[in-house]
């Protein structure tokens, strides 16, 4: 007998029939003798609907009030799932984030979980109840409702699993695991049985939205066994899924595990800035002061003119704001001007095997060149190579790389 935390995403609770199916899965897990804590997302499309509503008043919406609004989506599903469980004869109780004391910092819309008081949950489990907790939300030390950023229910689930010392955290979604790339873009993508925390973290950071980045960080930090599964498979079938685990648990490590892409970036270049100390600090300091995160940065050495170009990327939501900051900065620096482009995409190859294999980057560049795809920016780390290309090449690029690196189902082994 163990303790399992199960999380069901928006598509898994999209309508009453699916909520009823989720209840059946939860009951089946209970019948195997486990205690079950369930975390649910808002019904599919609901959070987007709430975002659109708030934006009718202000864009971006006032952070504190935005959180009060967004947190309502999950409150609907916790109550409906508890009703479904109780109507099927399984005692259950629903709780919002603040009711189970999910304490966060006060960074509205992207709060971090600091602590969870597990007393109430344990008391219910001891009474034989299933505990249903609203994902994506908590409260700060002053009792203000906070939310954890889009996709945050994954993090609620992992944080609860860590706090409760659960035997496993199961993330149920609309795909049956983590694939070599998004199966919506490449239908031949292959499900991985296992992937390391490190690779999953890179995949998530580089755009694979199957797990929120912070949930993987949390799982890695607290060593929570984390599994991604489908809620749409036959309930009696042997579950497949993907286990996210440590490197030594994986016997045969592929050189490349997967390809991630991120459509949420935008690129800005300050042209002809003086090539002297303090320039990068001047430009990026102003951007950082506006609380805007910068991703890739490229600065070339200048030839003889003493001037250089400085390019970086930011989240697309921050594009306009960054543009005006950088234009100001360019004037102060007497730069030639600013060019910007928000029709870019970042493609990344990820794999811990890269550490011991040379030539991965050059092969990637060759594949893209063969498809006539121009590379605008490059960045590398020990276990990833990322390139920025025009967004019209997203599908072509991902598919070509998927074939070239033998990631498809039938090319395994």
Phi, psi of 298 (to 5 degrees): -135, 130
Q: Where are the alpha helices (DSSP H) in 238-358?
A: 279-289, 319-332
CA atoms of 356 and 95, how far apart (whole Å) = 48
Question: Which of residues 161 and 279 has its CB atom nearest to ligand ASP in the complex?
Answer: 161
CA atoms of 393 and 376, how far apart (whole Å) = 12
Q: Do 346 and 262 touch, CB atoms closer than 8 A?
A: yes
Candidates 10-18, 116-124, 319-327, 380-388 — which segment interacts with ligand ADP by CB under 6 A? 10-18
Task: Indicate which single residue of 181, 257, 269, 313 sits in contact with ligand ADP (rule: CB under 6 A).
Answer: 181
Task: Indicate which single residue of 29, 77, 94, 153 sits in contact with ligand ASP (rule: CB under 6 A).
Answer: 153
Q: Which residues fall within 8 angstroms of residue 150, CB to CB, at 6 or more apart? A: 47, 212
Question: How many other CB atoms sit within 10 Å of the CB of residue 187?
Answer: 9
Compose the 5-44 pattern: x for residues touching ligand ASP by CB under 6 A, - for all others. Answer: ----xx------------------------------xx--
Select from Mg ion, ligand ASP, ligand ADP, none the partner in contact with residue 158, using the beta carbon and a kind-dependent cut-off of 5 to 8 Å: none
CA atoms of 160 and 27, how far apart (whole Å) = 19
Instruction: Indicate the angle between helix axes 213-221 and 153-164, nearest 10 degrees.
Output: 10
Task: Indicate which single residue of 61, 138, 152, 241 sits in contact with ligand ASP (rule: CB under 6 A).
Answer: 152
Query: CA 125 from chain center: how many Å?
Result: 30
By CB under 5 A, how many residues form the interface with Mg ion? 2
Question: Which of residues 9 and 97 has its CB atom nearest to Mg ion in the complex?
Answer: 9
Task: Indicate which single residue of 95, 179, 218, 310 sits in contact with ligand ADP (rule: CB under 6 A).
Answer: 179
Task: Indicate which single residue of 178, 224, 373, 401 sits in contact with ligand ADP (rule: CB under 6 A).
Answer: 178
User: Does 287 interact with ligand ADP (rule: CB under 6 A)?
Assistant: no
Binding to Mg ion (CB under 5 A) within 8-27 occurs at 9
Phi, psi of 156 (to 5 degrees): -55, -45
Q: Where are the alpha helices (DSSP H) in 251-315?
A: 279-289
Candidates 118-126, 176-184, 233-241, 314-322 — which segment interacts with ligand ADP by CB under 6 A? 176-184
Residue in 95, 94, 112 with CA at minimum distance from that of residue 103: 112
Task: Indicate which single residue of 8, 66, 95, 136 sits in contact with ligand ASP (rule: CB under 6 A).
Answer: 136
CA atoms of 115 and 45, how far apart (whole Å) = 29
Minimal distance, residue 65 CB to ligand ADP, in Å: 25
Residues pairing with 137 in the sheet? 147
Residues pairing with 307 in the sheet? 274
Task: Indicate which single residue of 151, 241, 272, 351 sits in contact with Mg ion (rule: CB under 5 A).
Answer: 151
Minimal distance, residue 6 CB to ligand ADP, in Å: 12
Binding to ligand ADP (CB under 6 A) within 203-232 occurs at 203, 208-210
The token pair at 166 is 């659960």
Query: CA 149 from chain center: how many Å?
Result: 9
Candidates 4-12, 213-221, 270-278, 328-336 — which segment interacts with ligand ADP by CB under 6 A? 4-12
Which residues would be at the binding site for ligand ASP (CB under 6 A)?
9-10, 41-42, 47, 73, 135-136, 150-154
Site residues (vs Mg ion, CB under 5 A):
9, 151
């Amino acid at each position: 007998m163990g303790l399992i935390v199960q999380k069901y995403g928006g598509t898994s609770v999209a309508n009453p029939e699916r909520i009823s199916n989720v209840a059946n899965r939860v009951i089946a897990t209970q019948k195997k003798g486990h205690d079950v804590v369930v975390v649910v997302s808002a019904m599919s499309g609901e959070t987007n609907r709430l975002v659109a509503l708030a934006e009718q008043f202000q864009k971006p919406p006032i952070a504190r009030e935005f959180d009060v609004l967004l947190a309502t989506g999950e409150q609907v599903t916790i109550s409906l799932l508890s009703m479904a469980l109780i109507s099927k004869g399984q005692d259950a109780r629903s709780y919002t984030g603040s009711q189970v004391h999910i304490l966060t910092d006060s960074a509205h819309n992207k709060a971090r979980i600091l602590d969870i008081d597990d007393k109430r949950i344990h008391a219910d489990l001891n009474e034989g109840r299933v505990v249903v907790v609203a994902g994506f939300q908590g409260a700060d030390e002053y009792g203000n409702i906070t939310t954890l950023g889009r996709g945050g229910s994954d993090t609620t689930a992992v944080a609860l699993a860590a706090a409760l010392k659960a035997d496993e955290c199961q993330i149920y979604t609309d795909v049956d695991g983590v694939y070599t790339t998004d199966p919506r873009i490449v239908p031949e993508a292959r499900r991985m049985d296992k992937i390391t925390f490190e690779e999953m973290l890179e995949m998530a950071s580089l755009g694979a939205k199957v797990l929120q980045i912070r949930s993987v960080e949390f799982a890695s930090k607290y060593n929570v066994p984390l599994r991604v599964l489908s809620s749409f498979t036959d309930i009696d079938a042997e579950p497949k899924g993907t286990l996210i685990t440590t490197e030594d648990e994986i016997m045969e490590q592929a050189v490349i595990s997967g390809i991630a892409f991120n459509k949420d970036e935008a690129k800005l270049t300050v042209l002809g800035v003086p090539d002297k100390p303090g320039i990068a600090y001047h430009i990026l300091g102003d951007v950082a002061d506006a609380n805007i995160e910068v991703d890739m940065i490229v600065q070339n050495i200048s030839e003889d003119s003493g001037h250089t170009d400085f390019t970086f990327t930011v989240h697309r939501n921050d594009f306009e704001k960054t543009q005006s900051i950088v234009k100001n900065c360019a004037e102060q620096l007497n730069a030639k001007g600013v060019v910007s482009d928000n029709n870019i995409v970042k493609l990344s190859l990820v794999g811990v095997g890269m550490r011991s294999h040379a030539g991965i980057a050059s092969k990637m560049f060759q594949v893209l060149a063969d498809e006539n795809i121009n590379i605008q920016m490059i960045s590398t780390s020990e276990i990833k190579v990322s390139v920025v290309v025009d967004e019209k090449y997203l599908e072509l690029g991902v598919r070509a790389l998927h074939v070239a690196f033998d990631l498809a189902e039938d090319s395994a082994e």
